[in-house]
Amino acid sequence: MPLQVNKFKESVLKEKFNVTQQRLKSRIENAFKVDKKNKTATLKDGKLSQQTLEAIQHIMGFLVSDVAFTQEELITELVNVIVSNKLQIDKDLFLKQSDKIALCTLLLLHNATFDFKGHKLGYTKISTEKESISYNTKFVDADENEVEHIESFGNLHVTGWVVLNNNGKDVTMGHPIMSTNLDAETWCVEELFHIEPFNDDMPNHMCKRIKLKGDLTISDCFRIGEIAV
């Protein structure tokens, strides 16, 4: 619970529950008796106010996860490693290739697995901020006047997925690993995009959907594409 407190902006906690991060963490710590030997925590009688309870319910009702590293952090670390190993580098030229280096890193991480000592192996996938956007659809306001509506798939990133065992059923949860500045439509070949109905319940609402499920590679034009079978 104290870890969750750190993931929420203090302004939000003050507005909703009139409490600072430090004060809420203090209340949580004072409300529980910790048995370090048995690794348990027990709620003390009468030590939790209604407002504190509501604050705890709020912070525990969200899974807040920051990306492990960004494109900028990746490039900075690569430059630092090269320099620390006393290798010659034209830094300006290297930085101009940042997008291509990030694209290559995405491919290296795609379809990788990792063991987090859980129910099953975790795995990673290249993803986009949006999987689909409306296609050839006219948007209007309340007065039936056409309005401009611009949608985007957003940037490419890598998502890590873990499979948890919840009462005998698999529950899959994703968390961000690497973010980039790479616009999906710019850095993916057209063949990865498909025009199809949004879903079975809306057969007339067509959408443009990106499919990054299979084995991927870098095309001749240096964009992400599928490996030819």
The C-alpha angle with vertex 219 and arms to 80 and 184, in degrees rounded to 5, equals 70
Helix 10-17 and helix 21-31, axial crossing angle in degrees, nearest 10? 70
Ramachandran assignment for 25, one of left (phi > 0), alpha (psi -120 to 50 degrees), beta (any other): alpha
Residue 69, pLDDT above cutoff 70: yes
Find the mean pLDDT for residues 44-61.
78
pLDDT band at 65 (very low <50, low <70, confident <90, very high): low
State the CB neighbour count (10 A cutoff) for residue 88. 6
List Cβ<8 Å contacts ≥24 apart for 189-193. Answer: 189/219, 189/221, 189/223, 189/224, 189/225, 189/226, 191/225, 191/226, 192/224, 192/225, 192/226
Report yes or no on whether pTM surpasses 0.95: no
- For residue 64, the model assigns a pLDDT of 59
- In this prediction, what percent of the chain has a pLDDT beyond 70? 97
- For residue 156, the model assigns a pLDDT of 96
User: Going along the chain, which residue ranges are E strands?
Assistant: 32-35, 40-43, 69-70, 113-114, 122-128, 132-134, 139-140, 146-147, 155-166, 169-183, 193-199, 202-210, 216-218, 224-226
Q: Which residue has the tokens 């079978």?
A: 229
Asked if residues 201 and 169 have their Cβ atoms less than 8 Å apart, the reply is no
Find the mean pLDDT for residues 118-135.
89
Ramachandran assignment for 121, one of left (phi > 0), alpha (psi -120 to 50 degrees), beta (any other): beta
Residues 6+ positions from 144 with CB-CB distance below 8 Å: none
Residue 62, pLDDT above cutoff 70: no
pLDDT band at 56 (very low <50, low <70, confident <90, very high): confident
- For residue 199, the model assigns a pLDDT of 77
Residue 181, pLDDT above cutoff 90: yes
Find the mean pLDDT for residues 67-74.
94
Find the mean pLDDT for residues 54-80.
84
Q: Which residue has the tokens 């948007």?
A: 139
The Cα–Cα gap between 25 and 39 comes to: 19
- For residue 176, the model assigns a pLDDT of 87
Greater confidence, 151 or 192? 192
Residue 18, pLDDT above cutoff 90: no
- For residue 227, the model assigns a pLDDT of 87
- For residue 61, the model assigns a pLDDT of 64
